Structure 1
């Protein structure tokens, strides 16, 4: 055992599973719906078409999710990368809310607005479950009453 609290281990595994599921949805069953949600400015900024952006983001989600679970020794770096990914997609979420574009599970203005508040929680989840601010090798202190 690494000395890591069980709650962080479980939270990291859940986040990893969620990312893999979301990534698979980008590649398979919800791909078309996600293409609709890609803002035109993202196409101009990257030089990629909407499908390539959806496929790329799905692949990144699968890699990050798998790495969160399979590479615990690198969890701090992977956690920071995961948090950065969640920050990077936030402008697209804002654009989707402002333009009223529907995507899977985001068919109403209310759902799209609530989704904006989920993004900071995902960033915090990634950081809390991986502890990128902790010194590598540092042990957790057990406080006894």
Structure 2
């Protein structure tokens, strides 16, 4: 029977993952990672937690909210650690949302470029200084840039 891989302390995981111990505790509280406890009630993390943290960090870096990351990780059987194939399949779900955010940013950039060329900065008609203009009457709280 193979011996189980030794577990890691929170400090060891923090050093290896580049995250703070408090972040590890937060992720655990949010259900993103799990730990076990020693007889002395100290946390220990399985080595696979490092791969799970890499997945979480990559998803968070592209702007995926932690709740969405947790929901995605919850789709894995028995809470197992994502594999590279899992990343490919799971991250494909986020591509459409990321493309939409990129489109919004491109429109914002283009409006900014137009504003720089125009130079008017009119409080009556500028889409940057007065994004609600007439649109706000039809859509309270609306913003054409988003």
Q: TM-score, normalised by structure 2?
A: 0.26
Could you state the TM-score of these two structures normalised by the residue count of structure 1? 0.26
